[in-house]
Amino acid sequence: MENVLKVGAAPHIVTKHDTRSVMLDVVIALMPALLAGVYFFGYRAALIVLISIASAVAFEHIWNVALKKPTTIGDLSAVVSGILLAFNLPSTVPLWLPVAGSFFMIVIIKMAYGGLGHNFMNPALGARAFLLASWPSYMTSFTKPQAKLFPVLSPDFVTQATPLGILKEQSGEALPTYLDMFLGNLAGCIGETSKIALLIGFIYLLARGVISWKIPVAFAGTVAALAWVFGGDTLFTGDWLMHLLTGGVFLGAIFMATDYTTTPITESGMIIFGIGCGLLTMIIRLVGGYPEGGSYSILIMNVLTPLLDKYIIPKPFGKAAKKIA
């Protein structure tokens, strides 16, 4: 038979969205929060994000070259990790800190376990936990937002406690208003303060079908419910809005707890994951030793994910149906 054609098995067509385009969508969704971070914390925030991205991509590339593996930086996952790591740092950290974080994030958590899709916990949060344990003083000195793009070049930072820190220490400092919390005009990490910017990113991700609403809504909903019930002096008097709008709940719920690799793949698994994150966050906030528990709660749920995926087997279509007489 002359001119034999190439064959292939169905389906013959594939969606336009591939790993790279999905990662690009996440990068785009992170842009409003990045702009807000730079607006509130000045050029230094941008510098830290850039260093973090560059070092994350560089470490991944060096790893592949050193182990003679095909290059994987084209999938843009290192860029996403780099941005998320920087978002979890205060703007005052020394410039070598994001590099150290990137090393732990890319080399230890991601590549040593097999690269994209094989890490057992969220790389950015794992690196944050590493940095927090190693250099706690750098990681917990937050500055007051300056709300101007180019502050004085030798930054003379005014440190300020985060609202959750104020609550924990019961220092009596004034809390920011809800509007400031929503816009991002409060002390905190670079990417976590502006809730409105994170929400814009959330809506973009939902519209593009990159993530599902289940984990973020379950996470935030649980935080709000528990804060309302247990957050006050007596039951059902807690300031749930304050708990929702401060700390890393938005950043964590939208961008960290929806990381594909370290979260369940089934719908009910996602709901349980979200509720678990919310529960652990509030336990750490209300009775734990740290002011903020978002990142640890996600890390704990990350390592529980294989169990969730193992024990949740969805019912197939038609399996539960009763015969119609």
Compute the least distance from the CB of residue 264 to another protein, in Å.
8
Nearer to another protein, 25 or 292 (CB): 25
**213 touches another protein (CB under 8 A):** no
**10 touches another protein (CB under 8 A):** yes
**153 touches another protein (CB under 8 A):** no
Q: With contacts defined by CB under 8 A, how many residues of the chain interact with another protein?
A: 50
What are the residues whose beta carbons fall under 8 Å from the beta carbon of 76, sequence distance 6 or more?
Answer: 20, 23, 24, 27
Strand, coil or helix: what is 116? coil
φ, ψ for residue 143, nearest 5 deg? -105, 160
By CB under 8 A, what part of segment 31-70 binds another protein?
none
Name the DSSP class of 323.
P
Return the amino acid letter for 28: I
The neighbouring-strand residues paired with 143 are 159
**118 touches another protein (CB under 8 A):** yes
Nearer to another protein, 19 or 141 (CB): 19
* Distance of alpha carbon 172 from alpha carbon 165, whole angstroms: 11
**314 touches another protein (CB under 8 A):** yes
**20 touches another protein (CB under 8 A):** yes
* Distance of alpha carbon 122 from alpha carbon 104, whole angstroms: 12
**319 touches another protein (CB under 8 A):** yes
Nearer to another protein, 136 or 209 (CB): 209
Nearer to another protein, 67 or 287 (CB): 67
Nearer to another protein, 68 or 319 (CB): 319
**Residue 104 corresponds to which tokens in the numbers above?**
């732990």
**Other beta carbons within 10 Å of 321:** 8
Compute the least distance from the CB of residue 31 to another protein, in Å.
21
φ, ψ for residue 217, nearest 5 deg? -70, -40
Which of these segments, 31-39, 141-149, 236-244, 317-325, binds another protein (CB under 8 A)? 317-325
**Other beta carbons within 10 Å of 6:** 4
Nearer to another protein, 169 or 267 (CB): 267
Place of tokens 């790993």: 19
Nearer to another protein, 20 or 148 (CB): 20
Length of the chain counted residue by residue: 325
By CB under 8 A, what part of segment 233-262 binds another protein?
260-261
By CB under 8 A, what part of segment 260-289 binds another protein?
260-261, 263-267, 270
Question: What's the half-sphere exposure (Cβ side, CA atoms, 13 Å) at 305?
Answer: 27
* Distance of alpha carbon 254 from alpha carbon 247, whole angstroms: 13
Residues 66-105: x where in contact with another protein by CB under 8 A, - otherwise, as a string? ------x-xx-x----------------------------
Return the amino acid letter for 110: K
By CB under 8 A, what part of segment 293-312 binds another protein?
309
Which of these segments, 3-11, 45-53, 87-95, 219-227, binds another protein (CB under 8 A)? 3-11
Nearer to another protein, 72 or 222 (CB): 72
What are the residues whose beta carbons fall under 8 Å from the beta carbon of 115, sequence distance 6 or more?
Answer: 72
* Distance of alpha carbon 260 from alpha carbon 257, whole angstroms: 8
**Other beta carbons within 10 Å of 64:** 16
**Contact set with another protein (CB under 8 A):** 1, 3-22, 72, 74-75, 77, 114-118, 212, 260-261, 263-267, 270, 309, 313-319, 321, 323-324
